Amino acid sequence: MQLGMIGLGKMGNNMAQRLKLAGHDVIGYDRNPEVSDTPDVASLVAGLAAPRVVWVMVPAGEATRSAVEELGRLLDPGDLVIDGGNSHFKDDAVNAARLAERGVGYLDCGVSGGVWGLQNGYGLMVGGTASDVERAMAIFDSLRPDGPRDEGFVHAGGVGAGHYAKMVHNGIEYGLMHAYAEGWELLEANGTVTDVAGCFKAWTRGTVVRSWLLDLLVKALEEAPGLDGVDEYTPTPGRVAGR
């Protein structure tokens, strides 16, 4: 399948590479000419065969609004735009309505997987019409982790549902990290436990608090005991991929 990708940062570039490895024809555009396949968005659109599919992977807010507005001027009826950034779910209705005036479809897709998605796949939460979702399913199937579709992909509902689901997902993620941090503090402050890091590692198997986030925390501690230089630390995938 052919598609355009606007935004080739850490997420967008890795997603484009995963799609290419799956056999898709991806034309990418980025403001950085060193990584861009085309000089501008107009050239990207011109290089796609109709009906076109364009994935927008740029920062939420003005950058996404500008990209959608530009695509609205360039695309034709029957084309499809997918916003895979972290846009506010209320912005999706505005973007969808603007594109609908041109007969262009719109999907919002919450994406989870970070820098490990290229290897492990991405968790996808999509909002929009069933027909538009089905049309882009080959893309979603290539981006999601291997295994059953419903363990890495969901058509969450109408326009806005994908980004709403991702917003809640992020809240859960931050809550988990906060809970681990408080647990560490409690273990360390009391003085009864002498191997705090060992406790966290022991929780990575067989307990109800195990998670990929916990695996990454343990790996970080093993590679940087005491978390010295943690600001510069870039973890590699844990052994539990795609959780």
173 is catalytic: yes
* Partners of 108 in the β-ladder: 83, 127
Q: Is 88 helix (H, G, I), strand (E, B) or coil?
A: coil
Q: Are strands 123-127 and 153-157 parallel, antiparallel or unpaired?
A: parallel
Q: Decide if 144 contacts 152 (C-beta within 8 A).
A: yes
Q: Which residues of 88-99 are buried (b: 16+ CB within 10 A; e: fewer)?
A: ebebbeebbebb
Pick the catalytic residue from 62, 173, 182, 185. 173
The number of residues in the chain equals: 243
Pick the catalytic residue from 34, 70, 151, 166. 166
* C-alpha pair distances (Å), 88 with each of 5, 42, 66, 93, 107: 20, 26, 15, 10, 13
> 175: Cβ–Cβ under 8 A, 6 or more apart, which residues?
none
166 is catalytic: yes
Nearest to 3, CA basis, from 195, 183, 138: 138
State how far the Cα of 226 lies from the Cα of 63, in Å rounded to an integer: 39
Contacts 24+ apart (CB under 8 A), 23-30: 23/142, 24/138, 24/139, 24/142, 25/1, 26/2, 27/2, 27/3, 28/4, 29/4, 29/5, 30/6
User: Ramachandran region of residue 83, left (φ > 0), alpha (ψ -120 to 50) or beta?
Assistant: beta
* Residues marked as catalytic: 166, 173
